[in-house]
Amino acid sequence: MDEIVDYIFELGVMKRRHIAGFDHFMSQSSSTLASHSQRAALIGMILADLEGADIQKVATMLLIHEIGEVRVGDTDNVAGRYRDPADAEHHAVADQNRKLPARLGQLLTGLYLELENGETLEARVAKDADLLEHAFSAKEYLDQGIQGRRAWLRNDDYLQTESGKQVSQKLRNSDSNAWWIHLNSMSAVVE
């Protein structure tokens, strides 16, 4: 039981560790591994439903896809030129999941590797959701006047699902504040 408790405390680091890359162009705090994983999982559930994939499998893949970065850190494309972050992360995930009961550890390691290999529909959906979550974050920063991540809004070439491409196209022409402006308007007040 001690190892399980340690594992859960280790996952708490995800609430504090920030996503790499955004710090190259802005000084304010960016998303954490936990906030990114949570929204990516929800995006993944939507895409899984649209694509006919296993919703729970995709959500689980996305909830765990960053756990290795608790140990090895998040590496952006610039730092990735100088070391192999995938190898270190794979090793970290395997070590982390050994702390869990055998069946769960094997399940999570298998889902992590399935996502990394990208060969199943669920893995492709999860990868699109991961990329789209970054695109949504970039759009939110862009709408605040922070220009550095505009390239994330042109990621259609990397997306593998039709639903992911449609969401990406819609995202580019959307206002990240529109969802609440309507809800907050006087016309939305119910008497």
Distance in angstroms (rounded) separating the CA atoms of residues 133 and 172: 13
Tell me what the pLDDT averaged over the chain comes to: 85
Flag whether the pTM goes above 0.75: yes
pLDDT digits 0-9 by tens, 1-40: 889 899 898 888 888 887 776 555 554 567 889 999 999 9
Structural contact between residues 165 and 159, judged by C-beta atoms closer than 8 angstroms: yes
pLDDT digits 0-9 by tens, 82-93: 666 668 888 899
Going along the chain from its start, the domains and CATH numbers come out as 2-188 (1.10.3210.10)
Query: Mind giving me the DSSP string for 100-160?
Result: S-HHHHHHHHHHHHHHHHT-SHHHHHHHHHHHHHHHHHHHHHHHTT--TTGGGGG-TTT--
Q: Tell me the mean pLDDT in the region 78-84.
A: 61
pLDDT grade, residue 65 (50/70/90)?
very high
Structural contact between residues 126 and 65, judged by C-beta atoms closer than 8 angstroms: yes
Q: Tell me the mean pLDDT in the region 65-77.
A: 79
Higher-confidence residue of 174 and 128: namely: 128
pLDDT of residue 18: 78
pLDDT > 70? residue 134: yes
Structural contact between residues 109 and 61, judged by C-beta atoms closer than 8 angstroms: no
pLDDT grade, residue 172 (50/70/90)?
confident
pLDDT > 60? residue 188: no
pLDDT of residue 79: 59
What are the φ/ψ torsions at residue 179 (nearest 5 degrees)? -60, -40
Most confident of 18-32, 55-69, 88-102, 147-161: 55-69
pLDDT of residue 105: 96
Query: What DSSP state is assigned to residue 191?
Result: -
pLDDT grade, residue 131 (50/70/90)?
very high
Distance in angstroms (rounded) separating the CA atoms of residues 100 and 119: 26
Q: Which residue has the tokens 């991961």?
A: 130
Q: State the burial class of residue 154 (Cβ atoms within 10 Å of its Cβ: 0-12, 13-18, 19+).
A: exposed
Whole-number percent of the chain with pLDDT over 90: 47
Higher-confidence residue of 186 and 171: namely: 171
